């Protein structure tokens, strides 16, 4: 089983809900929960947070996430980087992995292209190096290039796309204006949507639950089953 949801922002009650109310006690190592960015369970990087991550590591099921803009990137990058299911990850715990940008993973016979990152519009309320890390919140040119190579290696065909923010055209459909600061990212995602064959695209960031036609879904608290 593969489930996908939106921003979790380190809310421990939300993970406890999955464990206590959604039958996660019966899930196995072949069951996955994927978070579309702003994972946040490695954010404060203190003993309490690590104790909760250790509790999650006691579960048999797998937790995967693309990065959002509200992540403690230095803490994530200190975790071991390794190859997993065809792409590169940071292993947070034995069953918790950060799906790095521009990768293609094969999970349960399906392919997933991942592209995290977004611009923090609330940066004026945050302190750099404490709860905001400007240097890493948007993709680098190397990450865009790697994304292009990996998509080309798969003939621009994947089953699913997972991102934090979304293509520019969807931002307009939400009656919002693309932010000039992450215009390169949202334009890149628009290019991916035009040039890639895919079954469905899931994203978060905008704190809504909404479908855009039959192939794009914005998630926040809602959880969708893929397989």
Model pLDDT for residues 151-175, shown as the tens digit of each residue? 999 999 999 999 999 999 999 999 8
Evaluate if residue 23 carries a pLDDT over 80.
no
Helix (H) or strand (E) holding 56: helix 47-57
Mutual orientation of helices 141-153 and 183-195 as an angle, nearest 10°? 10
- Give the residue from 139, 165, 132, 163 showing the smallest Cα distance to 40: 132
Q: Looking at the predicted structure, is the pLDDT value of residue 72 above 90?
A: yes
Stretch 88-114: mean pLDDT, rounded?
98
- Look at residue 1 and give its three-state secondary structure: coil
Picking from 66, 73, 64, the residue whose alpha carbon sits closest to that of residue 95 is: 64
Say how many domains are in the chain: 1
pLDDT recorded at residue 18: 82
What is the distance of C-alpha 160 from the center of its chain?
Answer: 12
pLDDT band at 127 (very low <50, low <70, confident <90, very high): very high
* CB atoms near residue 223 (< 10 Å): 15
Average pLDDT of the chain to the nearest whole number: 95
Q: What is the pLDDT of residue 181?
A: 87
DSSP state of 113: E
- Report the alpha-carbon distance of residue 196 to residue 84 in Å, rounded: 23
Contact indicator for 172, 135 with CB cutoff of 8 Å:
no
Does residue 176 have a pLDDT over 90? no
pLDDT at 103: 98
> What is the average per-residue pLDDT within 18-38?
87
Per-residue model confidence (pLDDT) at position 215: 97
**Phi first, then psi: what are they for 222, rounded to 5°?**
-65, 145
Q: What is the mean pLDDT of residues 70-88?
A: 98
As a whole number, mean pLDDT of residues 83-87 equals: 98
Residue with tokens 């998630």: 219
Question: pLDDT tens digit string along 182-210?
Answer: 999 999 999 999 999 999 999 999 999 99
State the burial class of residue 163 (Cβ atoms within 10 Å of its Cβ: 0-12, 13-18, 19+): buried
**Residue 21 clears pLDDT 80, i.e. is over it:** no
Band (54; pLDDT cuts 50, 70, 90): very high
CATH at 55:
3.60.21
**Domain around 200:** 2-225
Please check the confidence at residue 61 and state whether its pLDDT lies above 90.
Answer: yes
Looking at residue 180, its pLDDT comes to 86
CA-CA distance, 216 to 166, in Å (whole number)?
9
Nearest to 108 by CA among 41, 178, 34: 34
In the 8-state DSSP scheme, what is residue 121? T
| Three-class DSSP category at 136 | helix
Beta-carbon count within 10 A of 2 CB:
19
Determine what percent of the chain is predicted with pLDDT higher than 70.
100
């Amino acid at each position: 089983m593969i489930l996908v949801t939106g921003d979790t922002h380190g809310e421990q009650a939300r993970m406890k809900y999955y464990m206590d109310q959604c039958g996660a006690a019966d899930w196995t190592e072949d069951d996955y929960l994927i978070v579309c960015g702003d994972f946040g369970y490695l954010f404060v990087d203190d003993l309490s947070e690590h104790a909760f991550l250790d509790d999650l590591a006691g579960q048999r099921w797998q937790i995967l996430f693309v990065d959002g803009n509200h992540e403690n990137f230095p803490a994530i990058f200190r975790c071991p980087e390794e190859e997993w299911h065809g792409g590169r990850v940071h292993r947070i715990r034995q069953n918790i992995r950060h799906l790095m940008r521009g990768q293609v993973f094969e999970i349960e016979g399906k392919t997933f292209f991942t592209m995290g990152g977004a611009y923090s519009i609330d940066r004026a309320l945050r302190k750099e190096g404490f709860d905001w890390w400007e240097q890493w919140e948007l993709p680098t040119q190397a990450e865009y290039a790697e994304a292009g190579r990996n998509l080309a290696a798969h003939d621009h065909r994947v089953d699913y796309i997972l991102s934090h923010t979304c293509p520019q055209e969807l931002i307009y459909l939400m009656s919002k204006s693309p932010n000039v600061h992450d215009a390169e990212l949202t334009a890149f995602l628009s290019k991916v949507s035009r040039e890639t064959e895919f079954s469905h695209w899931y994203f978060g960031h905008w704190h809504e639950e909404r479908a855009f036609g039959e192939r794009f879904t914005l998630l926040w608290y809602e959880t969708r089953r893929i397989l």
